[in-house]
Structure 1
Amino acid sequence: MATEEKWCVVTGGRGFAARHLVEMLIRSGKWSVRIADLGPSIKLEPNEEQGILGEALRSGSAQYVSADLRDKAHVIKACQGAEVVFHMAAPDSSVNNHQLHHSVNVVGTKNVIDACIECKVKRLIYTSSPSVVFDGVHGIFNGDESIPYPPKHNDSYSATKAEGEALVIKSNGTNGLLTCCIRPSSIFGPGDKLLVPSLVAAARAGKSKFIIGDGNNMYDFTYVENVVHAHICAEQALANEGVVAERASGQAYFVTNMEPIKFWEFMSLILEGLGYERPRIKIPASVMMPMAYIVEQTYKMFASYGMRVPQLTPSRVRLLSCSRTFNCSKAKDRLGYTPIVPLQEGLKRTIESYAHLRADCWPRRDGPSKAFIYLGSGKVAHTLLWKDKKQSLTAVLVLIAFYHYFIASGYTIITAVSKLLMMASLFLFVHGVLPSKILGYTIEKIPASNFHFPEEAAHRSALVVGSTWNSAVDALISLCKGKDWKLFIKVVFSLLMLSFLGATSLQRVFVIGVPFAFIAFCVYEKKEEEIDGLIHETVSFFWKLKSKITKKFLASK
């Protein structure tokens, strides 16, 4: 270690961009780095353990401090003896929780500023966001730092980040503290646990086919190393004495790769690079917004019961459909910032780092599908799953004819069955009367054995009926004990379905049921894993909900 240690602090040091900043600071050899984050201790990934971070922690040139920014005493402890603080901590922007965002982005930032002043920290670099000037309605084209904060922000995250940014800028010069704010636009790169994993999850679930909006909205993306480089440039500019530090301090700076690109083209390049299809189907944002509001309200109702944060929210729909490009001239002029990794190179590195998420690494199903097995693995399965297209088409035509002659007329089930039997009897009688040859054509007679029900089959049928009866009796006994909730729910659901079908006309059952059978099983076969996963999550959610309601009910007694 150097004889004269220079310590810097990185808040939120285990976050995506912050990890890259920590490694760059260690690699520079100029700093001893204190990593401040919420976790009680630092948990290194295998590559970190063997890399520069693990070595720095073992040597003492890096330290980990557990700190909650909402607790001022924690922040003061983290900042003691530091010359510079890189304030990068922030909650997940996708969670639209105003109380959470305000407590971290505003109260937490105020605590960081106060700690810097009390601990005589010389420089504070705050990681802000371009969203501080975005209202969610109007697009931004080549926007610069003269754009004011909007009267109403797109979400709580943006509003509270703007408040935090204003506090940092206002504190510039207090007791010798120099500050500035970096506004990196749409960070991407290796180690990101949000953008690429979410894209891949959507692609595997068949949801990546859609473009929200017209697909022409332009965006500025920033490779993570360029974001880190901008923070280093800001620190160096503030460290300069005289005019350079004076011009750089007390300011906010947009930071991008300086290569605007269509938002959906960028997403397509990542998806294609990982072996998935690019999105092609365009859905107007006006169509998506009502759905997003419903999803958001549902989350607000059930968040306390364990519901996951939804991907579809109104603020996200606006982000995905509006243009947002920014001018970096001010950062270039006052901080000396220029991107060190071009956009295409950043994309290449990002795609290579997610090789484990490639389409060809996705495990595929072996053997017959569950749908094929559920349908008996025979003629019915081949017909409904369109394995034998000629057979399936024949079945469809027969069903259409049956519907036209027997169902559409409004017959009851008994009338339709009797009419069908009458036509079958007429056909068999005429067939029996016909001679063995007509005009040289041989008429094959239907052997009587075709109508014979084998004794073995009758025995099997009787066993099935008996077994079904015994199972029903066992279920009834279990219900009488009042302990098996799952069985009770299954019985109630089955009886409700039966009562629904009984009250529904034969025509409606046929019109809905037949197309559903030919479509639903095909869809399930193709999307088996996704549907099974969704069903499992839904069942788990309701069981958790039941458990929590039961606990609250018992606690209230």
Structure 2
Amino acid sequence: MAGEERWCVVTGGRGFAARHLVAMLISSSNFSIRVADLGPTIDLGRAEETGILGDALRTGRADYVSTDLRNKAQVLKACEGAEVVFHMAAPNSSINNYQLHHSVNVDGTKNVIDACIEQKVKILIYTSSPSVVFDGVHGILNGDESLPYPPKHNDHYSVTKAEGEALVIKANGINGLRTCCIRPSSIFGPGDKLLVPSLVAAARAGKSKFIIGDGNNVYDFTYVENVAHAHICAERALSSGGSVAEKASGQAYFITNMEPIKFWEFMSLILEGLGYERPKIKIPAFVMMPIAHIVEWTYKLLGPYGMKVPQLTPSRIRLLSCSRSFNCSKAKDRLGYSPIVTLEEGLKRTVDSYPHLRAEHQPKREGLSKASIYLGSGRVADTLLWKDRKQTVITLILLIAIYFNLIASGFTIITALSKLLLVISVFLFIHGNLPGKLLGYSIEKLSPSHFELSEEASQRVAMSAVSSWNNVVNVLKSLAKGNDGSLFVKVVIFLLVLSFLGAFSLQSVFVTGVPVAFLAFFIYEKKEQEIDAMVLDILSWGNKVKSDIVRKLHRSKKTD
């Protein structure tokens, strides 16, 4: 490192908060910055390419080094010649994988500490989390740094961050190294790829209507520039020397916007700012917890086969329903920290940074929906999809009348049909004898053509029946040859399903089938993209499982 240049390292430098810190460090002109992250090269967005980071990389004020914290040699190289290390790297907290989090948050942090000591780095600032003092059960209101680590943490991310934090605090003073830990609470702001995009995805899927818990849990959110500012305040305090540095080092600090707010009010402000409705329906946390456990168990089972990381997990339910607010007095006193962007301004900047996610820019369907196409795009589709509300209501009234008069009474299919035909015959007879006008209303007579089947329609019905019969005969022929095992399995499954359905009474089929018909197609039309994506995920997972099983069987045959 040439001349009087002062270099600092930002691990995980391509992460959300780290990008803002890098930009702030470049703007401060106090350091040349080495960005350390997993990628083999740095991939800049258009705004970064033309912004201060792109300019700093071109002029040599910043450089990039590919670094895996689990590789000590790479960490040593990244810290070479550095005066300050901002250790911000951590895995995605939503992935509740102990091995992953321990390898990065604990083993990786050990490598960073060792590299700082060997490379004679003066200052190490570790980005921790308020979750290190959260047990997932008891809420925290205005908590300060005297709170101990709980006996049991909410998830693997929290317990490993606590272990990493303890290691950094313990390393303070070794070989002249000064350390401290920053605990920023619930970071938000432009560039976030988790909070706002997931909120919008939930809103577009119709899932943002719900509040988990009573909705009164209080949170401390921190605008991302305030988080970056807190790191710079910590570096200034630790590098100032004397009693200030002595007092500031070897400590952990909560960092917030100092403006506690109800969690669900904050979420509502973001949703409303983007044009979506705020959540209103409250669901008790104890109702959601069993479902979350099932989802988590399913992910553990199917995760290796490609299942996406679920959002609905027990640890997430606890985070959404408990209070978590923290006191920043210690950071204000020892680091000189105070927010530089208010919560209101931070929310405005955040919402303004996602114009493409606004409700009015939601992709719209063109042409007929798949549900309408599947139903023939005719009167049946209009009825089941509530396109013709009058027709739908009349149909529902008729179905209810049929149920109570013909099905609920316990009739068999034959007696029900005969009674239905009797009712229709009486209705047609009375209708045929009514005058053309009754009480000032015109009565439209039913012409014989209403009941006639055209020659073309008759041919279609006959051809369909013949085709179905021939298909059945071809299946029987194939089975008789005894060489199509796949077909045999399909036939067996079909007959088992048929026998299962046949066990249901007419009453059960009617009570279940009618609501499903009216709800399923209606919901599918509204959530077509989400349901299709879910089906594709299930099919791709099924194909992956099938290929894995075939591969294992093939290997076992080779071994034999």
TM-score range, shorter chain: over 0.9
Deviation at 1:514, TM superposition (A): 1.2
**SS of the residue aligned with 1:141?**
strand
User: Superposition pairs for residues 276-291 of structure 1, below 5 Å?
Assistant: 276-291=276-291
Q: 1:244 to 1:398 in 2, by over 3 A?
A: same
**Can you list the C-alpha shifts for 1:424-470, whole angstroms capped at 9, x where unaligned?**
455566777x6979999999876555443322221232233344456
Distance 1:92 1:429, change over 3 A: closer
Question: Structure 1 172/421 Cα, relative in aligned 2: closer, same or farther at 3 Å?
Answer: same
Distance in structure 1 (CA, Å) of the matches to 2:536 and 2:475: 24
In the alignment, the residues of structure 1 paired with residue 209 and residue 137 of structure 2 have an alpha-carbon distance, to the nearest angstrom, of 25
Report what 1:309 is aligned to: 309
CA distance in 2 between counterparts of 1:402 and 1:463 reads: 32
The answer as to whether partners of 1:7 and 1:31 remain within 8 angstroms in 2 is: yes
Identical residues among aligned pairs (%): 72
CA distance in 1, matches of 2:258, 2:291: 34
1:414 counterpart letter in structure 2: I
Report what 2:177 is aligned to.
177
Equivalent residue, structure 2, for 1:547: 547
Distance 1:121 1:378, change over 3 A: same
The 1:465/1:119 distance shift into structure 2, 3 A limit, reads: same
Alignment of 1:468-487 (within 5 A): 468-469=468-469
Structure 1 residue 41 and structure 2 residue 41: aligned? yes
By how many angstroms is 1:420 displaced? 2.8
Change (3 A) 1:199 1:429: closer
Query: In 2, Cα distance between the equivalents of 1:52 and 1:429?
Result: 86
- Verify: 1:165 aligned to 2:165, yes or no: yes
Return the letter of the residue paired with 1:536: L
Match of 2:92 in 1: 92
Q: Deviations over 1:273-299 (max 9, x none)?
A: 111110000111111111111111111
Structure 1 gaps, min length 5: none
How far has the Cα of 1:534 moved from its partner? Answer: 1.8
Partner residue, 1:130: 130
Q: Please state if 1:236 is matched with 2:236.
A: yes
Inter-CA distance 174–436: structure 2 relative to 1 (3 Å threshold): closer
CA distance in 1, matches of 2:489, 2:342: 58
Contact 1:436/1:444, CA 8 A, preserved across alignment: no
Q: Distance in 2 between matches of 1:126 and 1:65?
A: 19
CA distance in 1, matches of 2:543, 2:89: 35
5+ residue gaps in structure 2?
Answer: none
Partner residue of 2:272? 272
Query: Where does residue 319 of structure 2 map in the other structure?
Result: 319
Q: Give the whole-Å Cα distance in 2 for the aligned partners of 1:438 and 1:19.
A: 79
Aligned pairs for 1:11-160 (under 5 A) are 11-160=11-160
TM-score, structure 1 length as denominator? Answer: 0.93
Distance 1:259 1:158 in 2: 24
1:8-52 residue CA offsets vs partner (Å, 9 max, x unmatched): 111111111111111111122221111111112211112112211
- Residue identity opposite 2:58 in structure 1: R
Aligned length: 555
Find the counterpart in structure 2 of residue 407 from structure 1: 407
Distance 1:416 1:163, change over 3 A: same
How many Å separate the matches in 1 of 2:70 and 2:272?
Answer: 42
Alpha-carbon distance in structure 2 between the residues aligned to 1:147 and 1:114? 28
RMSD: 2.7
Q: Give the TM-score of the pair, scaled to structure 2.
A: 0.93
Distance 1:483 1:113 in 2: 65
Quote the residue 2:207 is aligned against.
207
Q: Distance in 1 between matches of 2:445 and 2:198?
A: 64
User: Contact between 1:67 and 1:78, CA under 8 Å: does it hold in 2?
Assistant: yes
Residue equivalent to 1:452: 452
Deviations, residues 461-494 of structure 1 (Å, cap 9, x unaligned) = 2233344456667788999998997x99976665
Task: Tell whether 2:503 aligns with 1:503.
Answer: yes
